[in-house]
Amino acid sequence: MNNTRQLHELGQSLWLDGISREMLDGGTLRRYIDEFSVTGLTSNPSIFDKAIGSSTAYDASTREKARAGNSGESLFMELALEDLRRAADLFRPAFDATGGVDGWVSMEVSPLLASDTSGSFEAAARIHRQASRPNLFVKIPGTPEGIPAIEESILAGVPINVTLLFSREQYLASAEAYLRGIERRVAAGLDPRVSSVASLFVSRWDTAVSDKVPAALRNRLGIAIGGRTYRAYRELLASARWLKLAAVGARPQRLLWASTGTKDPEASDILYIEALAAPDTINTMPEKTLLAFAEHGECSEIMAEDGGDAEAVLTEFARAGVDVDALAIRLQRDGARLFVDSWKSLLQRIADKS
């Protein structure tokens, strides 16, 4: 059994955090599916900014769409969805084999809508229609303004990847939105089988506090937040409220580990992959991290359902002066701002190529 297959066998889906036209044209994604048990992928504005800016693979399509009168956001959406439809088709066998549990790709709404509830809902519905693939998630950030848009999207039958979650509390807010959307569908006599994932960002915690805590605490905060959130996830799946929905056919909103590439050059390059090996979750990892785990990773321990020592570790961070509640809010705001910066850079690249 290869290293990446270990994750699959313990019940964790392995997704790629990245996409490019070169990866599709050259057969790289096909190889990752066949050799590394990759069963999905995610994208975001930063990923497409890098892919389009560092390659000529999009130039001909960009010129063609520009001549046809497309520009700006609409031109980018067409470019991105061309890639994501191809990827979705590659993952369709996994989607069909698992009854829609696995085999997904993700496309983000414009980051400029992070504080626009109605705009996010309308954009999600539009992307879902335009993509015309059953295994494409639309990503909406789990900001306070995004939470109502997530609920309305689930009610409308749009599969949602909730992004930019940084804490147990932010995760639970997204889970509540998902549950309310499904409950409203059941009350209206609609099919309760609408899929969703909740993406908890991990490594950014450690980057934020790396120069503010003792050496013994470095690279431990993100994993502790993961453990705390995983416990809340398992408790929700065991709750009477969820079991009632499951009994009528609803699917659980799966917990997804995001931002799992190691940022500290002195730490293991597969730190977050090994620490976050947990059943019924997804780990979406950058290509570099995927290749590193395939080379020398192993699943020696599985995350405890109660989060293990997460609370004890978080107590140590509190003693060191880290206010995790305030930091979670800041990280979410900073994450939204960084995606806006990437979005603007991306649109400028497309305008230049056009």
Q: Is 50 a catalytic residue?
A: no
Residue with tokens 């335009």: 130
Neighbouring C-alpha atoms within 13 Å toward the C-beta of 329: 4
From 50, 65, 139, 353, active-site residue = 139
Cβ pair 130, 95 in contact under 8 A = no
The span from the CA of 192 to the CA of 261, in Å, is 34
Cβ pair 149, 117 in contact under 8 A = yes
Cβ pair 167, 325 in contact under 8 A = yes
Give Dmax over CA atoms of the chain in angstroms. 60
| Structural element, H or E, at residue 294 | helix 287-296
The span from the CA of 314 to the CA of 328, in Å, is 13
- What residue type is assigned to position 139 of the chain? K
Closest listed residue to residue 105, CA positions, set 78, 77, 73, 138: 138
Closest listed residue to residue 48, CA positions, set 139, 148, 113, 158: 139
247 contact partners, CB below 8 Å, separation of at least 6: none
The span from the CA of 138 to the CA of 53, in Å, is 23
Phi, psi values for residue 16, rounded to 5°: -95, 130
User: Which residues sit opposite 197 in a β-bridge?
Assistant: 161, 254
Q: And the tokens for 78?
A: 């067409």
Q: In what order do the strands lie in the sheet with 196-201?
A: 38-42, 12-17, 281-285, 254-258, 196-201, 160-165, 136-141, 105-108
Q: Among all residues, which ones are annotated catalytic?
A: 139
